[in-house]
Amino acid sequence: LSERLSGVFDRLTRQGALTEDDVRTALREVRVALLEADVSLPVARDFIKRVQAKATGSAVMKSITPGQQVVKIVHDELIATLTGEGDPGKLKIDNPPAPILMVGLQGSGKTTTTAKLARRLKDREGKRVLMASLDTNRPAAMEQLAILGTQIGVDTLPIVAGQTAVQIAKRAKQQATLGGYDVFLLDTAGRLHIDDVLMDEVQAVRDVAAPRETLLVVDGLTGQDAVNVAAEFDGKLGVSGVILTRMDGDGRGGAALSMRAVTGKPIRFVGLGEKTDALEVFDPQRIAGRILGMGDIVALVEKAQETLEVEQAERMMKRFQKGQFNMNDLKGQLEQMMKMGGMQSVMGMMPGMGKMSKQAEAAGFDDKMLRRQVALIDSMTRKERANPALLQASRKKRIAKGAGLEVSELNRLLKQHRQMADMMKKLGKKGMLKQAMGSMF
Ligand code: GDP
Ligand code: MG
Q: State how far the Cα of 320 lies from the Cα of 420, in Å rounded to an integer.
A: 10
Q: Using CA of residue 87, residue 88, residue 89, residue 91, what is the dihedral sign?
A: positive
Strands 241-245 and 213-219, sheet pairing: parallel
Q: Contact, 213 vs 242, CB < 8 A?
A: no
Q: Contact, 69 vs 58, CB < 8 A?
A: yes
Q: Which amino acid is at 9?
A: F
Please tell me the distance between residue 427's alpha carbon and the centre of ligand 1 in angstroms.
63
Pocket test residue of 112, 221, 229 for ligand 1, highest count of atoms within 8 A of CB? 112
Residue-level pLDDT at 243: 96
Residue 327, Cβ neighbours under 10 Å: how many? 23
Would the annotation count 245 as a binding residue? Answer: yes
Residue-level pLDDT at 24: 81
Would the annotation count 419 as a binding residue? Answer: no
**Dihedral of the alpha carbons of 86, 87, 89, 94, in degrees to the nearest 10:** -70
Would the annotation count 107 as a binding residue? Answer: yes
ipTM: 0.99
Strands 129-133 and 267-271, sheet pairing: unpaired
What pLDDT band is residue 23 in, cutting at 50, 70 and 90? confident
Return the CATH fold of 322-440: 434 Repressor (Amino-terminal Domain) (1.10.260)
What pLDDT band is residue 18 in, cutting at 50, 70 and 90? low
Using one digit for the tens of pLDDT, what is the confidence trace for 35-44?
888 888 889 9
Taking residues 78-93, report their average pLDDT. 91
What pLDDT band is residue 334 in, cutting at 50, 70 and 90? confident
Please tell me the distance between residue 107's alpha carbon and the centre of ligand 2 in angstroms.
7
Residue among 252, 194, 257, 290 nearest 42 (CA): 257
Return the CATH fold of 98-281: Rossmann fold (3.40.50)
- Nearest residue (by CA) to ligand 1, atom 12, is 109
Full-model pTM: 0.69
Containing 133, the helix (H) or strand (E) segment is: strand 129-133
Looking at per-residue confidence, does 145 or 375 come out higher? 145
Please tell me the distance between residue 228's alpha carbon and the centre of ligand 2 in angstroms.
20
For ligand 1, say whether the CB of 156 is within 6 Å of any of its atoms.
Answer: no
Please tell me the distance between residue 57's alpha carbon and the centre of ligand 1 in angstroms.
45
Please tell me the distance between residue 157's alpha carbon and the centre of ligand 2 in angstroms.
15
Residue-level pLDDT at 113: 98
Burial 421-436 (b: 16+ CB within 10 A, else e): beebbebbeeeebeeb
As a whole number of angstroms, the longest Cα–Cα distance in the chain is: 88
For the cut 50, the answer to whether the pLDDT of residue 260 exceeds it is: yes
Q: State how far the Cα of 271 lies from the Cα of 281, in Å rounded to an integer.
A: 9
Residue-level pLDDT at 64: 58
- Nearest residue (by CA) to ligand 1, atom 19, is 109
What length does the chain have? 441
Each domain of the chain, given as residue ranges in start order, spans 2-85, 98-281, 322-440
Return the CATH fold of 2-85: Four Helix Bundle (Hemerythrin (Met), subunit A) (1.20.120)
Using one digit for the tens of pLDDT, what is the confidence trace for 203-232?
999 999 999 999 999 998 876 677 888 888
3-state secondary structure of 301: helix
For ligand 1, say whether the CB of 120 is within 6 Å of any of its atoms.
Answer: no
Q: Contact, 238 vs 110, CB < 8 A?
A: no
Residue 381, Cβ neighbours under 10 Å: how many? 11
DSSP3 helix / strand / coil % (the chain, rounded to 5): 60, 10, 30
